[in-house]
Amino acid sequence: MTVGIVMLVHTALGRAEQVARHWARGGCPVVIHVDRNVSRKTYDAFVARLQDEPSVLFSKRHRCEWGSWGLVAASQDASELMLERFEEVRHVYLASGSCLPLRPVEELVEYLAHRPRTDFIESATTADVPWTVGGLDHERFTLHFPFSWRQNRYLFDKFVELQRLVGYKRRIPGGIVPHMGSQWWCLTRQTLSAILQDPERPSFDAYFRRVWIPDESYFQTLARLYSTKIESRSLTLSKFDFQGKPHIFYDDHLQLLRRSDCFVARKIWPHADRLYESFLTDPNRAMSRQEPNPGKIDRIFAKAVDRRTRGRPGLFMQSRYPNYGWENGLTAGKYSVFQGFSELFEEFEGWLGRATGAQVHGHLFAPERAEFAGGQTVLNGALSDNALLRDANPLAFLTNLLWNTRGERQCFQYGPRDNPKINWHMSRDPNAQISVISGAWAVPLFKSNANFADLRATAAKLQKIESRMLDELRSPDVKARVRIWTMAEFIESPMEPLQVIIDEIGQKSLRRLAEAPRLENLNGFGQFLQNLKNQGMHPYLMGDFPVDPAPRNTRSGPRKPYLIKK
Amino acid sequence: MTNRTSDIKPSDLLVFSTQRNEGVRLPYFLDYYRDMGVNHFLIVDNDSTDGSLDYLARQPDVSVWSTQASYKRSRFGVDWMNWLLMRYGHGHWCLTVDPDELFLYPFCDTRPLRALTDWLDASSIKSFSAMLLDMYPKGRMDQTPYMPGQNPLEIASWFDSGNYTIQKNPELGNLWIQGGPRARVFFANKPELAPALNKIPLVRWDRRYAYVSSTHNLLPRGLNLVYDEWGGEKASGILLHTKFLSTFADKAEEELTRGQHYGASREYIAYADAVQDNPDLWCKWSEKYINWRQLEILGLMSKGNWA
């Protein structure tokens, strides 16, 4: 008993010849179907070349357009010829011209000899398959498809829509339940002949002739009627990309294929000389004797599909430029934005760096330059601190920074003096953790030695900007983790919020904070705000600061630092 | 003119190029693309005086046309390229590159160019993006002289990995990419003028197609959609741009006097000052080139769904 190979060929005939001889050498008869689209001359030469192989036959030719009935007709005719002419054949294996046997032919024969009644055909009901092209699953069986999907997509789609609109449905012949699966099957003589010799075959054929992509459903459906034992998987290793097009194997997949333990792989690039040489001529290639297990190869191809459909979050580049809202992650990693903290605390950045181990920058969007950590003028990825370069595209600056430093938590300062264009982008970014102490921009003004008239103007400007920023941060579309305190609120009890923020950064969570940040001396700040009010400006974002020396701010002598306890 | 285009077979892979006095680069350039599997080169020689025209004419797989016409008047060579492409490129995969551009694509170290073009054909993709990546040496550009036949990447082996910015060109639908060392050093104070780095050099040509501005964009517009807009990554390559070698200072000076380059040669004017003193583009965060996989990991190019 042996296995018969039905081979559907439409291109790279030289390779098909090589593989056909390989099968024949291994004692497997071969029936080849050559697509009618191949010229008469080429076909005759091909047939002539294989004359010396008595166990290689050629079946009646059909035109095989993708997704058309021709492929099924070709498989039927070739299978009939196989069953009729080679009586020793117990299993028929459907393969294509670009399939390559990976394991020795004897192993396949032996494997099938141990499973004489098993049909290997991937066959699932339409409700259960996620991989349909064009989103059509059950409708493949209930609509008409007179227009080519490849050549006339517009009419194809329109006609589908029209049929849906009028509620048209074809009747599915009695007794069958539509199943779909890979077109590369291996059926027993019993099952296959039952399908081919079924008295109802003309009506089934007439029905499937108008089903879309019948080569993925004809045998898959009918095998369910006759098979005593279906193993719903294909013995052919075949990986599909996101468009339902098979992945191609090249020379550099040699090791991967060796480890795949599969009997047959498709599809192979015709110029992959090393693959053909290794698997067809090297007798000692020693593929291990195990159940076929394409799982090892799955990961690499699943990743390719993922890369093509979802991409790498936070990456903007020449072939990935997502539309607004389709970024699948605006940035490459989580980051923390601090507004008002470095104004309110002395040496806040140094403290934050020590407390979290993250990279802490100054005001990255400051008007003068991007204040990179450690005073660097260039950062990872050769990102420049030049403000003009940065402001030419602030979003690109931010996404570049986070892409370049992925793996290392980034923190930076922000405020109403800085480029406001980036505020909304951070607000809509789920990776952003934004903490704002509103009104803290007034502290540097309070400490400065500028003329009061200038201070008043600056304060009015900054308050207006920050107010707008806060509006953005409170919009319903915000996806960032946003926390906002007024300055008065925050200094009421600064330890608790600081601890929460540090914990959320979560870098050194196991260690207790060894030191607390030191508040700026705010003696007289209330009076400063009152002076602004007296000049007609209304500072409100910082909350209420009493003019009368509040107990907290008027303690004589140096204050004790706030200690943050777990 | 040396026309060997009758040797071109229907499935041949073609390189189209314009050159002027690039004699020192040509030996490596030709071999680089021959190794990749390119079958024929079609080159316009713009009034070379260094003997490179004769050199090209002696190559069995090169067809070369010589012109004394103005580079500027030909819209910086685009008209010449479009003419050759229309005449000889129809139905072929055509790679349009300058002699200082080395094309990289996913798996280029293990698969020939034909593997890529076959895959593009099977995927019904007609144009393939390859961003220009400026390469530079560490130290002064004139420090190590470049010799004919030498791999320029031995000298110019550094690049900027993560400072590129992208905008969409609403007119033609292509991306407009700027950045890299030229933006960082020469155009830091006028970033909007920094040179464009987006390129679409590999196209399955049809005589109805045309490059619009260099190989930055084409018509019809659909060919410029080499990027995914819904979060995924399409496959793309890189053009390693080895302009910044010891030959650069002379070249910049010559081009400046000829005044034949894009945008009133402002690029060369911007270089001239910087080139005078110490042209060191290298910085602490420069990345040293290893291979295409490194560029893939850095996000400068992508395998897309080619695996």
The CATH number linked to A254 is 3.90.550
Range with the lowest mean pLDDT among A131-140, B87-96, B167-176?
A131-140
Residue A533 lies in a domain: yes
Whether residue A64 is found in the same domain as residue A117: yes
pLDDT of residue B91: 94
Q: Which residues of chain B are within 8 Å of residue A320 when distances are taken between CB atoms?
A: 227-228, 231-234, 302
Q: Is B304 on the interface with A (CB under 8 A)?
A: yes
Q: Taking 70 as the threshold, does the pLDDT of residue A560 lie above it?
A: no
- Using the 8-state DSSP alphabet, how is residue A126 labeled? G
pLDDT of residue A559: 58
Count Cβ atoms within 10 A of the Cβ of residue A98 and give its class: 0-12 exposed, 13-18 middle, 19 or more buried: buried
Nearest CA-CA partner of A98 in A292, A259, A234, A276? A276
Whether residue A366 is found in the same domain as residue A278: no
CA angle B216, B218, B221 (to 5 degrees): 120
Domain boundary among A269, A294, A319: A294
**Which whole number is the average pLDDT over A374-384?**
93
* Contact criterion met (CB < 8 Å) for A318 and B115: no
Whether residue A116 is found in the same domain as residue A55: yes
Q: Which of residues 326-345 of A touch B (CB under 8 A)?
A: 326-328
Other Cβ atoms less than 10 A from the Cβ of A45: the count is: 11
Q: Is A403 on the interface with B (CB under 8 A)?
A: yes
Q: Is B170 on the interface with A (CB under 8 A)?
A: no
- Rounded to two decimals, the pTM is 0.89
Q: Give the phi and the psi of residue B65 in degrees, each rounded to 5.
A: -115, 135
CA distance to partner chain A, nearest, from residue B84 (Å)? 27
Whether residue A230 is found in the same domain as residue A379: no
**For A312, which of B191, B233, B306 is closest by C-beta distance?**
B233
Nearest CA-CA partner of B208 in B46, B89, B96? B89
pLDDT of residue A554: 45
CA distance to partner chain B, nearest, from residue A106 (Å)? 30
Measured CA to CA, the distance from residue A243 to residue B305 in angstroms comes to: 10
Whether residue A257 is found in the same domain as residue A344: no
* Contact criterion met (CB < 8 Å) for B285 and A378: yes
Q: Is A131 on the interface with B (CB under 8 A)?
A: no
* Contact criterion met (CB < 8 Å) for A326 and B122: no
CA A107, A109, A113, A119 torsion: positive or negative? positive
Q: Which residues of chain A are within 8 Å of residue B286 when distances are taken between CB atoms?
A: 382
Q: Is A11 on the interface with B (CB under 8 A)?
A: no
The 10s digit of each residue's pLDDT in A330-343 is: 999 999 999 999 99
CB B175 within 8 A of CB A320: no
Measured CA to CA, the distance from residue A65 to residue B179 in angstroms comes to: 47
Number of domains in chain A: 2
DSSP notation for A252-306? GGHHHHHTT--SEEE-B-TT-HHHHHHHHH-TT-----S---THHHHHHHHHHHH
Q: Which of residues 252-271 of A touch B (CB under 8 A)?
A: 252, 269, 271
Measured CA to CA, the distance from residue A219 to residue B246 in angstroms comes to: 67
- Among residues of chain B, what percentage have pLDDT more than 70? 94
* Contact criterion met (CB < 8 Å) for A271 and B235: no
**For A326, which of B161, B231, B302 is closest by C-beta distance?**
B231
3-state helix/strand/coil string of A488-529 = HHHHHCCHHHHHHHHHHHCCCCCCCCCCCCEECCCCCHHHHH
Q: Is B94 on the interface with A (CB under 8 A)?
A: no
Residue A143 lies in a domain: no
pLDDT of residue A173: 82
* Contact criterion met (CB < 8 Å) for B192 and A311: no
- Among residues of chain A, what percentage have pLDDT more than 70? 91
pLDDT band at A512 (very low <50, low <70, confident <90, very high): low
Write down the residue that tokens 């009028």 correspond to: A166
Residue A544 structural domain: 335-554
Residue A346 lies in a domain: yes
Domain boundary among A229, A263, A294: A294
Interface test with A, best of B104, B107, B285, B296 (most A CBs within 10 A): B285
**Which whole number is the average pLDDT over A236-251?**
86
Residue A285 lies in a domain: yes
Whether residue A201 is found in the same domain as residue A69: yes
**Which whole number is the average pLDDT over A355-362?**
91
Measured CA to CA, the distance from residue A337 to residue A319 in angstroms comes to: 30
The 10s digit of each residue's pLDDT in B3-20 is: 898 899 999 999 999 999
Domains belonging to chain B, first-starting first, are 5-297 (3.90.550)
Q: Taking 70 as the threshold, does the pLDDT of residue A529 lie above it?
A: yes
Q: Taking 90 as the threshold, does the pLDDT of residue A422 lie above it?
A: yes
CB B115 within 8 A of CB A274: no
Whether residue A265 is found in the same domain as residue A372: no
**Which whole number is the average pLDDT over B135-145?**
87
Q: Taking 50 as the threshold, does the pLDDT of residue A316 lie above it?
A: yes
Distance (Å) of CA A430 to CA A235, A320, A327, B46, B90: 44, 20, 11, 54, 48
Q: Which of residues 122-151 of B touch A (CB under 8 A)?
A: 122-123, 129-131
**For A382, which of B160, B231, B304 is closest by C-beta distance?**
B160
* Contact criterion met (CB < 8 Å) for B188 and A323: no
- Among residues of chain B, what percentage have pLDDT more than 90? 73
ipTM computed for the complex: 0.93
Q: Taking 80 as the threshold, does the pLDDT of residue A137 lie above it?
A: no
CB A101 within 8 A of CB A19: yes
Q: Is A406 on the interface with B (CB under 8 A)?
A: no
Q: Is A562 on the interface with B (CB under 8 A)?
A: no
Interface test with B, best of A148, A252, A319 (most B CBs within 10 A): A319
Q: Which of residues 29-88 of B touch A (CB under 8 A)?
A: none
Whether residue A388 is found in the same domain as residue A504: yes
Count Cβ atoms within 10 A of the Cβ of residue A424 and give its class: 0-12 exposed, 13-18 middle, 19 or more buried: middle
pLDDT of residue A214: 87
**For A321, which of B163, B166, B181 is closest by C-beta distance?**
B166
Residue A208 lies in a domain: yes
Q: Taking 60 as the threshold, does the pLDDT of residue A124 lie above it?
A: yes
Q: Is A305 on the interface with B (CB under 8 A)?
A: yes
Name the closest residue on chain B to residue A273, using Cα atoms.
B111
3-state helix/strand/coil string of A40-66 = HHHHHHHHHHCCCCCCEEECCCCCCCC
pLDDT band at B68 (very low <50, low <70, confident <90, very high): confident
Residue A250 lies in a domain: yes
pLDDT: is B14 or A213 the higher one?
Answer: B14
Q: Taking 60 as the threshold, does the pLDDT of residue A409 lie above it?
A: yes
Whether residue A353 is found in the same domain as residue A477: yes
Residue A307 lies in a domain: no
Nearest CA-CA partner of A98 in A283, A298, A236, A278? A236
pLDDT of residue A475: 93
pLDDT of residue B115: 96
Whether residue A439 is found in the same domain as residue A490: yes
CB B269 within 8 A of CB B182: no
Q: Is B288 on the interface with A (CB under 8 A)?
A: no
Range with the lowest mean pLDDT among A327-341, A510-524, B37-51, B87-101?
A510-524
pLDDT band at A113 (very low <50, low <70, confident <90, very high): very high
Q: Which of residues 200-239 of B touch A (CB under 8 A)?
A: 226-236
Q: Taking 70 as the threshold, does the pLDDT of residue B241 lie above it?
A: yes
Count Cβ atoms within 10 A of the Cβ of residue B153 and give its class: 0-12 exposed, 13-18 middle, 19 or more buried: middle
Whether residue A275 is found in the same domain as residue A392: no
Measured CA to CA, the distance from residue B156 to residue B151 in angstroms comes to: 9
Nearest CA-CA partner of A222 in A34, A24, A72? A72
**E strand or H helix that includes residue A92:** strand A89-96
- Mean pLDDT in chain B? 90
Q: Taking 70 as the threshold, does the pLDDT of residue B97 lie above it?
A: yes
Measured CA to CA, the distance from residue A278 to residue A256 in angstroms comes to: 13
Residue A217 lies in a domain: yes
Measured CA to CA, the distance from residue A7 to residue A53 in angstroms comes to: 15
pLDDT of residue A493: 84
Range with the lowest mean pLDDT among A177-191, A346-360, A429-443, A552-566?
A552-566
**Which whole number is the average pLDDT over A75-98?**
93
Whether residue A290 is found in the same domain as residue A367: no
Name the closest residue on chain B to residue A304, using Cα atoms.
B305
**Which whole number is the average pLDDT over A486-500?**
88
**For B229, which of A308, A326, A392 is closest by C-beta distance?**
A326
* Contact criterion met (CB < 8 Å) for B164 and A403: no
Q: Taking 60 as the threshold, does the pLDDT of residue A286 lie above it?
A: no
Please give the interface size between A and B, counted as residue pairs whose CB atoms are below 8 Å apart: 174
**Which whole number is the average pLDDT over A210-231?**
88
**Which whole number is the average pLDDT over B78-85?**
92
Domain boundary among A243, A275, A294: A294
Please report, for the domain that includes residue A429, its CATH number.
3.40.50
